[in-house]
Amino acid sequence: KNYAVAIDIDRNEINDDRMGILRPRIAQMVSAMQQHKWQLVIDQITAGTTNLAYDAAAFFATHGSPTLDNLLDGTSSTLATIKTDIYAAKAAMMEFVSDQSKVMHLAMDTLLVPAEQEGLFLEAVESSANPGGAGDGIFNPMKGWIKQLIVAPSLTDANDWYGFASAQPLKPMILQMREEPNPVLDATAEARSRQIVFSAEMRAVAGYGLFAQAVKMVNG
């Protein structure tokens, strides 16, 4: 799919741009397009309870048996319950079975969380000392489990979060880039209107990979 953003600039603006304002504006368009390609993935993730995976069930659902249920019920959104839910999500993913009925031993290594919960998740998975509750101040066993903590302000629910096993050759989510974001200059209209069109364009599509490598924890 094609994506583009553009601005029309009069030739006089280019000639008179002594403060170098136009170049950062164009660079910002490319940067915005770079961010948008990851938003395509976020949009697929948040629609995962309705959009279908390759087995004709929703990406986040019970896939054939309870041992392939990647739509999990959380307890709440406090530090203690977030830690409990991370343990539960990690254990569930470790026990997922393949279509050959073999346990896949998948290790959850990535979390995608809403901005409202960033501080709690940082404390839960990155603090060297065990945060909160019994044993506070002792070594945190979660430290080092999670390789990536991704904060997404655009997540549609302030309490739900997602876990992924992203270190495998197969991936839970797919982003196919046909054309990376790049600046484009179109001066064809300049002779008629003195307008030069600067744009940033890309071609990309996001979709689903292996649903067993993803879980959604619902706290709504």
Q: What is the structure's pLDDT at 22?
A: 72
- Rounded CA-CA distance 83/31 in Å is 35
- Rounded CA-CA distance 126/149 in Å is 9
Among residues 3, 105, 68, which one has the least CA distance to residue 215? 68
- Rounded CA-CA distance 184/90 in Å is 45
Q: What is the structure's pLDDT at 61?
A: 92
Structure tokens at 107: 């290790």
- Rounded CA-CA distance 65/79 in Å is 31
Q: Give 62's strand partners.
A: 69
DSSP letters of 21-37? -HHHHHHHHHHHHHHHH
pTM for the structure as a whole: 0.82
Question: Roughly what angle, to the nearest 10 degrees, separates helices 118-126 and 79-94?
Answer: 60
**pLDDT block averages, 10 residues each, the chain of length 220:** 72 64 75 85 95 90 79 91 95 90 93 96 88 66 90 92 95 89 65 67 89 92
Among residues 59, 63, 62, 61, which one has the least CA distance to residue 45? 59
Show Cβ contacts of residue 73 under 8 Å, excluding neighbours closer than 6 positions.
Answer: 217, 218
pLDDT digits (tens, 9 = 90+) for 15-37: 666 656 777 777 777 788 888 88
First and final C-alpha spacing in the chain: 33
Q: What is the structure's pLDDT at 66?
A: 65
DSSP letters of 87-144? HHHHHHHHT-B-TTS-B------EEEE-GGGHHHHHHHHH-SB--SSTTTTSB-TTTT
pLDDT digits (tens, 9 = 90+) for 98-130: 888 899 999 999 999 999 999 999 999 998 877
Q: What is the structure's pLDDT at 192?
A: 56
* 3-state secondary structure at position 204: strand
- Rounded CA-CA distance 23/1 in Å is 27
Q: Give 69's strand partners.
A: 62
Show Cβ contacts of residue 17 under 8 Å, excluding neighbours closer than 6 positions.
Answer: none
